[in-house]
Amino acid sequence: MRRETSVLFLCVGVTILGVGCASQKQWSDWKQHSTHFASGDHMWFSATHQTQKTPPSVARTDLDHARGQSWWGDQVAVRQSQLSQR
């Protein structure tokens, strides 16, 4: 019983901390969409482009997927010279 209570408090604490991490704009974006990602392509791109240390490697197919599947979230600004050929 004591362990179950500890796990419950831990889960509640993590939830409370997680709720405070989103801005008003981020909550607004979340409320407008029924899922976290628009597609598997969107999820894969977001998961593989999380680092802020280097410029993201963006291919023309990524841009095509983003337009065609109506991805949302923070935009990745890419100049023509930065497009990769993968």
Q: Each residue of 45-85: pLDDT tens digit? A: 878 777 666 666 778 888 888 888 887 776 667 777 767 66
What's the pLDDT at 52? 64
Question: 65-86 b/e with 16+ CB inside 10 Å = b?
Answer: bbeeeebeeeebebeeeeeeee
Q: Each residue of 1-56: pLDDT tens digit? A: 788 888 888 888 777 776 667 778 777 877 787 777 888 888 888 787 776 666 66
What's the pLDDT at 67? 82
Q: Which residues have a Cβ under 8 Å from the Cβ of 46 and sit 6 or more positions away?
A: 37, 73
